[in-house]
Amino acid sequence: MTRLSAITPSGSVQLGNYLGAIRQWAAEGTDEDVYFISDLHAMTTSHNPSRLRALTREQLAVLVATGVDPRSVSVQSDLVRELGALTWVLECTCTYGEAARMIQFKEKSKGRSSVRLSLLTYPVLMAADILLQGAREVPVGDDQRQHVELARALARRFNGTYGEVFAMPKAVVPPTAARVRDLADPTRKMAKSAKDSAGTVFVLDSPDLVRRKVRRAVTDDLGVVRYAPEEQPGVANLLEVLAACVRKAPEEVAESVKGYAELKEVTAEAVVEELRPVRERTRELLDDPAELDRVRRHGAERSRERSRHRLDAALRVSGLG
């Protein structure tokens, strides 16, 4: 059963991406799955071309360094011609109303004087990502569920109108993973494109920088180490991060530490140790462009092979070529 997940190169990989997604992809993924760097999606808001290219490479390296099966990894834009063609066909299957109803579009465009058209249409590109690869399961959080529903609706409509081409995807709940919060503001989730990086641990941060960021994490003045996410969100976040790193439950690790200083020390060391091999391997890969290029080329070839017949059929039955 092909599963499909992506990471957008909108910034450097942060601890939440790693603990919440990439580490699971490495542990549970198979070479039938599709894990890709969605660089096309990163262009729906203002972007810098050379930074986009560098971040795409960095994310590819982090995925491989974490142990995601290199045969399942690819870069979205390596299939830009195929995706562009299918996106057009799917845009001709989708209505304006359907696209404009997307909550993410409403949220991300709110209050902006200028919005790229691609911000409106990118859920159709996402449908193309899913349908082109024949993905059956798309693990997504609530914010992306509506987009997978759109992919389903478009697959159903296309198949019903022109002929059976696409497999029906469905949104699945991702395996329970840590939801990491910003260390400086635990009411927000940790994000790669946060304006202030003080509360964001990046996978490639040096050990000293990780320690500094964790030591400065916001806690509270209750002075009790216990796992109470509602009342003590900062402490709970540190406990969740520590628990995820040492692969135990937050309640359990809470019992083993005394005060906030110790909690921060132990958490910082656990994060440093968890990230160390990934950071080192990522650096090696970034210093060895040939190896990364090879992974990228193979990933693209595999995705192209897997999807060729579906694209050809979609173009043919809809009257093209």
CA-based torsion, 152, 158, 161, 162: positive or negative: negative
Query: Is-catalytic flag, 189?
Result: yes
Which one is catalytic: 110, 192, 195, 258? Answer: 192
Residue showing tokens 């024949």: 134
Nearest approach, Cβ of residue 143 and ligand AQP (Å): 8
Q: List contacts with ligand AQP (CB under 6 A).
A: 6-8, 10-11, 14, 16-17, 20-21, 141, 178-180, 189-193
Which one is catalytic: 106, 110, 170, 189? Answer: 189
The smaller minimum CB distance to ligand AQP, of residues 93 and 133, is found at: 133
Nearest approach, Cβ of residue 160 and ligand AQP (Å): 30
Nearest approach, Cβ of residue 306 and ligand AQP (Å): 21
Burial class (CB in 10 A: 0-12, 13-18, 19+), 120: middle
Residue 92 in tokens: 């001709």
Nearest approach, Cβ of residue 224 and ligand AQP (Å): 25
The smaller minimum CB distance to ligand AQP, of residues 271 and 311, is found at: 271
CA-based torsion, 290, 294, 297, 300: positive or negative: negative
Query: Is-catalytic flag, 192?
Result: yes
The smaller minimum CB distance to ligand AQP, of residues 130 and 190, is found at: 190
Helix, strand, or coil here: 287? coil
Residue showing tokens 């040096």: 206
Provide the CA 237 distance to its chain's centre, in angstroms.
20
203 phi/psi in degrees, rounded to 5: -60, -30
Which one is catalytic: 106, 108, 170, 213? Answer: 108
Provide the CA 55 distance to its chain's centre, in angstroms.
13
Indicate which residues carry an active-site annotation: 108, 189, 192
